[in-house]
Structure formats: structure tokens, C-alpha cells
Amino acid sequence: DVAAARKAFARIEKEITRDQPEGIQWDNSFFQHGEVFQSAAYGLDFSMSIPRLMRIAVGTDFQFSRNSVEFLGNFILDGQRWLVRRQAIEISAMGRTYSRQGKNAIPIMRACRLMVDVPSTRQEEFRSCAESIRLSTPMPIHGNRSFWIADFMAHHTDQFYASVKMNSSRTYNTDFGSNAEGLRGDLLSDGATYFHRSGEEYRDIFGVWDFRHVPGVTAQQSAWPARDQYSPSHGPTAFVGGLSDGTTGFAAMDFKRDQLRARKSWFFLEDRVVALGAGIRCTGHCDPVHTTINQEWGKERFTLPEGRTLPPTAGAVAPTWIHHDGVGYLLQDSAMAAKTQVRLSSQRGDWKNINGQLQSTPAEGKVFSLFIDHGEHGQHGDSAASSQGDHYAYAVVPGVTSEQTAQLAAATDVEILSNSEALQAIQRKSSKRLQAVFFAPGQLTKSVWGSVKTNAACLVEIQPDHNRVQLLVSDPSRQAKSIRLELTGQYHCPTCRTPVTEAGHAFVTEVEVTLPTGKLAGTAAPLSLGPVSM
């Protein structure tokens, strides 16, 4: 029945859209069950089934339109491909299927092989993607990408793939576990930060994983409730999102869970990820609070500076770095380092704890855990944290030796300018790139660019661009239509106001930045400034 077949193919093609609440989104993420990031779960099923039908239809009356082919290709190559390192696939995009063993990127390899046979402008990219996964080699992609609708950021270099998944009032924290899968996913979007080099770091680790120590997450060390199903929730705050310049990027989260509060940010640079946190406190009693730097499969040993321990012995100086499995960890705050703990030991668990569909499936393995113990926090943020709350600052540098880690710990090229509840900012002096998170209107007074002042909470990046200056601004809350900045120096642009000088003061330029709206709200607005006088 040709008419029925044509109708069926036409109906299927209508699913290739980004204008529905579920399915492909404008940032090339994939939602299912509401605003749940599912690119490595239901999204895999989608990108396997549609290419198969596309290939079947090539050269027939049912052939998919060029626009639909290109659209699906963009989802696979600009979305799912960015979630892969060798044969590992992004944990944060798995939904509840992290509780199943054997999850990997092979379905994307198969989808790419199918798309090679479908005429498009990106067939060679599909072939390259499929080969990278088959050979378990890094993807031929470099740089940073903000998935602003999914509250997710992905970052690729030659040495590593890193990511962060956050939770806002616009997204669910994980998938529904009504079928008894994914029973401990509560914290998986609270700033989960993963670091992949070999692709084996977290493979099938979840049977033994301590789900209170999710990498990147600040959490109470409470006992898990007995449950046979799980219902996710939207986050309580809107100021959650990122800013990407295509090469580097950074993300921020105004974090709240139960009584626990924190302001957190992550800076994805060419060779490392810098993580800052401040204002860690509880509005009521909390169990002990930890921020986890990493939890992965453990190797034979880890390395510390000679004579140092974690935590440090009484009266001893805390180490400034630790090295494990080709990754350097820089402890960039001495007070934090004194509260940092490391474990390399056998952990036992049972897959049934996270997947009630299974019979008892015991698991055991050596696990490396590195975390900061913030202590117990009472109603007024007492214990280790003052009324200002506790804080942390660390960097993760994959692809280095212990000797290189020691050298990096003493280097000053990447400088933390501020780490407070109101403002978290870093700069790379060699490239003059400034990246700042303003959790509230405020002013950064000292940087390679002088002073930067904003009239609203926002993310700001400034860096040189030949003989001009590139300014990027975003509003993670998606509430502002424009942001006004005051910058030290004399700049010229269509929305720059003529600088006014005062006796004894430098030039100050006011810049009005109009922000994207609609589906692009939350993305960065670029503005080129120049020439410059400071």
C-alpha cells in the first residue's frame, strides 16, 4: 500500500523537529519525560531508528527532505558526538539508564554508519565519527559547547573530555524511576562534573559508587532512603547556565537543595577545569557536607608532595596538589586543602540498590575518591563555615605527570580573582582572557582589563581579538533583556557611551549589551569593542 507507506514516512519525518517540548531541542540536546536530559538514553533510540529509515528511503518516493536530513545530522554531530570520549558516553545524559550495565557510545557509531549512506553535506563527518568510536580514539572535535536548554556544558581537548550538568527551575534533575530504575539519581544534576581520558574512568562503576560523592557536587552525607521508585524535581533557582566562546567556556549555578545553599562555578580552559564554590551553608541543621572533586576507578596509587598527607597531620602544611591516573588536582585554597580527604580502597555495592528490576548483583572494585569535608553546618553556618559560609577552589588538569602537576601548582598564569557568594572570577594572564560570574550586580576591581561593573547578575568574558576586544555576556536566569557594563578604558562600539573622565580616574566606558531572546535566551551576546585606550 504505497499511500499508507507514504503517510507513515511523512508522519515519522514530522518527529524531526525542535519545536516540541520533548525530542530534539534548540541546543541539540534531547528531552523525554519532560525537561529531562536524555541524549544518551531516549536520544540514542531516536538517532538509531530515524537514520535506518532514512537510508531505506534513499532514492524512493519516501525519501526524507534535505532539511530533515541536515537537521538530524546536526543533532547527532553537534549534539550527541559532543558527549563521547573514545567509547564512553556522557553519564549526565543517560537519564535513569545509568543503572544499567554496558552503556557506551556504540549506538552513535551505528547511527553514523547509517548516515554515511544518506546524501548530505556531512557524510565525511559521520564516517569520521563512526571510525573514532570503533577504534576507541578521541573525536576530531575541539573546544567548548554550552547546551543552554539542558543546563549542560561539554568541553573537548586532545587530552580530555570534561562536562558539567546543572539543574535549574527549567529542567528536571534526572529521569523518573517509576519502573524501579535509577533509584539514586537525586544529585546527578547538582553540578556533576566528569573527566574522561581513556573512557574507562567510570565505566560500569555505579554498582559500587557512593552516590553521595558525585564529582563536582556539594551534598549532605545523609543515608539513602529505602525506595522502589523515584520522582525527579525541577531545580529551585533560575540563575543556572553557561557562556561559551567556542574554545573555552564557564558555567554557574545558584545551588539550593533542601537546607543546603552554595554558589558554584566551573571554568573550562584549554588545559584544565577550575572549580570555585562559596557561601556553602545550611538554613537549618545539615548532616556533614562534602564537595567531591572526583570519584572514579582507582589505579595502584596516588602521589602527593613528599612528606605530605591528606588530610594533613596536626600542625603540618596541607599539600597543594595530588596526582592520580594521569590527572593532576590542584588544591588552590590552603584552608580547603586542610579539609580535603583522599581514599583509594575497595568499595562494595549491589546493582539492585539502583535498579530494582535486578536480582541481587554484587559488585566490588578499587575506587579513588577525593573530596572536601566542610563539616556539619548548623542554622547559622557554624562549624568549619563562618556566617559567610564555607568555600573551595580547585583545578583538575588531565594528561599530566606528577612532576608537571607540581610545576603547575606553583605557576600563576591562571589566577583566581574572586571567590565569593557575589562574584567568582578567573583570568588567564598569558591570553588576557577574563571570565567572571556576577551572582548579583557588582564590580570586579582588579583584572588585566581594569575594573568591570555590571547592573545585573550575569556572566561576562573579555579577551583580545586582534586589534579589538571581544566581549561576551549572558544571563543564565533568562530574565534580563539587556545588561549594562562599565569598563575601565576607552572603547568604541554602537552601544558604547562616550567616556567621561574625572580628575585622577581612568577612562570608563558604559556598554549596553542586548541579550538574545526566545529559544536563544541564555546564550551569549557578542560585542566587538575597539580601538582601545586604557
Angle 294-298-301 from CA coordinates, rounded to 5°: 110
290 in Cβ contact with 212 (< 8 Å):
yes
According to DSSP, the residues that pair with 289 across neighbouring strands are: 220, 375
pLDDT averaged over every residue in the chain: 94
Please tell me the predicted confidence (pLDDT) of residue 385.
44
Does 138 score more than 80 pLDDT?
yes
Q: 117-127: per-residue pLDDT in tens? A: 999 999 999 99
pTM of the model: 0.96
Q: How far apart are CA 383 and CA 288, in angstroms?
A: 10
Q: Residue 174 pairs with which residues in a beta bridge?
A: none
**How confident is the model over 152-161, as a mean pLDDT?**
98
Triad 406, 412, 418: Cα angle to 5°: 120
Query: What pLDDT is attached to residue 386?
Result: 46
Q: Which helix (H) or strand (E) holds 273?
A: strand 273-282
Rounded mean pLDDT of 23-52? 98
Mean per-residue pLDDT for 391-420? 97
**Cell numbers of 107, please?**
549506538
Distance, CA of 29 to CA of 61 (rounded, Å): 30
Beta-bridge mates of residue 414: 428
- Among all chains, which residue has been given the C-alpha cell 556572566? 459
Which residues, at least 6 apart from 14, have a Cβ–Cβ distance to it below 8 Å?
A: none
Cis peptide before 119 (omega within 30 of 0): no
Q: Is 339 exposed, middle or buried (0-12, 13-18, 19+ CB in 10 A)?
A: buried
> What pLDDT is attached to residue 307?
85
Asked whether residue 100 carries a pLDDT value surpassing 60, the answer given is: yes
Locate cell 543556572: which residue? 240
Residue 101 cell numbers, joined: 550495565
What would be the CATH architecture of the domain defined by 142-411?
Distorted Sandwich (2.70)
Determine the pLDDT at residue 228. Answer: 86
CATH architecture of the domain with range 418-529:
Sandwich (2.60)
Length of the chain in terms of residues written: 534
Model pLDDT for residues 473-514, shown as the tens digit of each residue: 999 999 999 999 999 988 999 999 876 665 556 689 999 999
Q: How many CB atoms lie within 10 A of CB 437?
A: 30
Segments making up each domain of the chain, as ranges: 1-141, 142-411, 418-529
Find the angle CA(299)-CA(302)-CA(303) to the nearest 5 degrees. Answer: 150
Handedness of CA 478, 447, 397, 87 (dihedral sign): positive
Query: 504: left (phi > 0), else alpha (psi -120 to 50), else beta?
Result: left
- Do 328 and 404 contact (CB within 8 A), yes or no? yes
- 418-430 mean pLDDT: 98
Cα(155)–Cα(102) distance, integer angstroms: 24
Contacts of 146 (CB under 8 A, 6+ apart): 27, 152, 153, 241, 242, 243, 244, 249, 251, 523, 524
Average pLDDT over residues 405-428: 97
- Give which of 349, 348, 82, 75 is closest to 196, Cα–Cα: 82
Pick the CATH number of 1-141 from 3.40.50.300, 1.50.10.100, 3.90.230.10, 3.40.920.10: 1.50.10.100
The whole-number pLDDT of residue 505 equals: 61
pLDDT given at position 353: 96
Q: How confident is the model at residue 450, as a pLDDT?
A: 93
Tens digit of pLDDT for each residue in 366-394? 999 999 999 986 444 454 444 568 999 99
pLDDT at 309 over 50: yes
pLDDT at residue 379, as a whole number? 42
Mean pLDDT over 453-468 rounds to 96
Q: Is the pLDDT of residue 531 over 80?
A: no
Residue 1, class by beta-carbon neighbours within 10 Å (0-12 exposed, 13-18 middle, 19+ buried)? exposed
Q: What is the pLDDT of residue 495?
A: 93
Neighbours of 76 (CB within 10 A): 25
When pLDDT is cut at 50, 70 and 90, the band that residue 315 belongs to is confident
Mean pLDDT over 306-335 rounds to 91
pLDDT of residue 176: 84
236-280 pLDDT, tens digit per residue, is 999 999 999 999 999 999 999 999 999 999 999 999 999 999 999
DSSP reduced 3-state for 10: helix
